[in-house]
Structure 1
Amino acid sequence: MGLNFVQCNLNHCRVAQDLVAQFMVEGRVDVALISDPYKVDSASSAWHASAGQRKAAIYVANTGVTVANVISDPEFVSARLNGVQVYSCYASPNRPIEDFQDLLRRLEDSIRTVQQEVPVLVTGDLNARSAAWGDWVDNRRGEELELLIESLGLVIANAGSTPTFSRGARSIVDVTLACDTLAARITDWRVLESVFNNSDHHYIRFSLTPGRDQVRATPATTIAPRAWNTAGGVANDTFLAGLILAEWLEQGDLQDWQDTERGASALRSRLTAACDFAFPTRRTTNPRKPPVHWWNADIEALRVECTMAKRRMTRMTS
């Protein structure tokens, strides 16, 4: 399956984090790649964060996305999403250049440990500026990041020269990088300059088309979320019968189990079939329901007004 991403620095702001969750619902976004999140729900399997102070995070809103090989560093986090090793990073602008160089060394070491056939996507606010990704200023961090890009053979996905950071003279410090085999699958990369998000960084949105193996393996239909009513308890015998039936329906094909991603998909398929057999279905919540409890029509109208004011300000300063 293809993936829809949003990338942004949230400035450690609670409202900005709530707004990105709302944006994902409205825009049908699968994954958020976050720098400087406000809070990470460590109890939720949807959240994956960097170590320590949790400066970077990956939030997977779509339960149909397979997640594996999670890597946590103090300044980046990585997870394999539908077979793509995705990195979300954050480098504070207040740290010395030696710390930034150390981050890039750790990032390079991590990327080089990824299996050669696995595509890599690297995103984040690294506070590095360079004309290579559309900025009009070059700095030392930009030079160091360019060396990393060249060393790893990465491709810069940033397009155009729309600023990603709106404070002051504005700049482009949020980057999206991909290995050469993945770059061709990135589509519709754009900076959403007019969307109000309560952050001084704009949203970056882009999509990732399915790989060839995913096109063959994934049906073209959208699978609705499933849920079952287990209030009456779990009948072990009935559930076991469901698993046996699911295995029989698959005709005992073990080929998928030799691959991690396909094995996970096959296991999920069997468990779904067994639950369908053993339990009554439960109506799921509306996927369009706002994820933040305070969202309402009045706030929606205020956001529209903020967006219009932001556009007027941009015209006046440009």
Structure 2
Amino acid sequence: MNNSLASHDAIMEIVRRSVDLVVVSEPNDRKMQEESWLHDATCNMVVRSFSSNIPIVRHGAGLGHVWLDAAHILVCSVYVSPNVELGVTLDELSRLKNAVCKEVVICGDFNAKNVAWGGGVTDRRGLLLEEVMAGLGLICLNDGDQP
């Protein structure tokens, strides 16, 4: 959302139409705090359940990621700056995925390019992300920067 108040308000209009779970990258800081979103240590990623159908059993956060355990599924939202080493975040995600026995959804912006998810080229970060996700039995569809 690039910290935009207008973008935040637009998302909230959509949420009011019966969205159960929202994951946002670069939220508006003031709105995020007012509305009690779960956030990572840098406040670049937030996630929130808007439905009693998604009871939050537990939640947590680390540098560049936030997660919530919603009984039958673990949802993890990630932002990895291009200036941060991708491997550290992927190690944390691997530990988290291996610690739970349930479906896992990981979404976010890894700042990684790979032809596997629609990029024109594959960079070092994209190759590393693809290898780690495959090793975890996950599929990376799109990192947010690709079409």
Shorter-normalised TM range: 0.7 to 0.9
Matched, 1:63 2:52: yes
- Distance change >3 Å, CA 164–CA 74, structure 1 → 2: closer
2:21–2:51 Cα contact (<8 Å) kept: yes
Cα offset, 1:20, TM superposition: 1.0
Alpha-carbon deviations, 1:186-244, whole Å to 9, x = none?
xxxxxxxxxxxxxxxxxxxxxxxxxxxxxxxxxxxxxxxxxxxxxxxxxxxxxxxxxxx
Provide the C-alpha distance between the structure 2 equivalents of 1:42 and 1:153, rounded to a whole number of angstroms.
Answer: 37
**Could you tell me which residue of structure 1 aligns to residue 33 of structure 2?**
41
Cα offset, 1:41, TM superposition: 2.4
3-state secondary structure, aligned to 2:61: strand
TM-score (norm 2): 0.86
Amino acid at match of 1:110: L
Provide the C-alpha distance between the structure 1 equivalents of 2:129 and 2:104, rounded to a whole number of angstroms.
Answer: 16
Cα offset, 1:89, TM superposition: 0.6
3-state secondary structure, aligned to 2:95: helix
> RMSD across aligned C-alpha pairs, in angstroms?
2.1
Match of 2:111 among 113, 116, 127: 127
Amino acid at match of 2:131: L
- Distance change >3 Å, CA 134–CA 43, structure 1 → 2: closer
**Could you tell me which residue of structure 2 aligns to residue 21 of structure 1?**
12
- Distance change >3 Å, CA 109–CA 49, structure 1 → 2: same
Cα offset, 1:13, TM superposition: 1.8
- Distance change >3 Å, CA 25–CA 75, structure 1 → 2: same
Cα offset, 1:73, TM superposition: 0.6
Provide the C-alpha distance between the structure 1 equivalents of 2:135 and 2:26, rounded to a whole number of angstroms.
Answer: 27
**Could you tell me which residue of structure 2 aligns to residue 104 of structure 1?**
90
Match of 1:151 among 126, 135, 146: 135
Cα offset, 1:137, TM superposition: 1.9
Number of positions where the alignment pairs a residue of Structure 1 with one of Structure 2: 145
Matched, 1:12 2:3: yes
Provide the C-alpha distance between the structure 2 equivalents of 1:70 and 1:56, rounded to a whole number of angstroms.
Answer: 13
3-state secondary structure, aligned to 1:41: helix
Please identify which structure carries the higher helix content: 1
Once superposed, which parts of structure 1, at least 4 consecutive aligned residues long, lie more than 6 Å away? none
2:109–2:144 Cα contact (<8 Å) kept: no
Amino acid at match of 1:29: V
Alpha-carbon deviations, 1:26-81, whole Å to 9, x = none?
4x22111111212222773xx21112x21211022223321112021121011012
1:54–1:74 Cα contact (<8 Å) kept: no
Identify unmatched segments of 5+ residues in structure 1. Answer: 1-9, 166-170, 173-318
TM-score (norm 1): 0.42
- Distance change >3 Å, CA 102–CA 164, structure 1 → 2: closer
**Could you tell me which residue of structure 2 aligns to residue 113 of structure 1?**
99
Matches within 5 A, 1:1-318: 10-26=1-17, 28-39=18-29, 40-41=32-33, 44=36, 47-51=37-41, 53-93=42-82, 95-96=83-84, 99-114=85-100, 116=101, 118-158=102-142, 164-165=144-145, 171-172=146-147
3-state secondary structure, aligned to 1:78: strand
Query: Which has the greater radius of gyration?
Result: 1
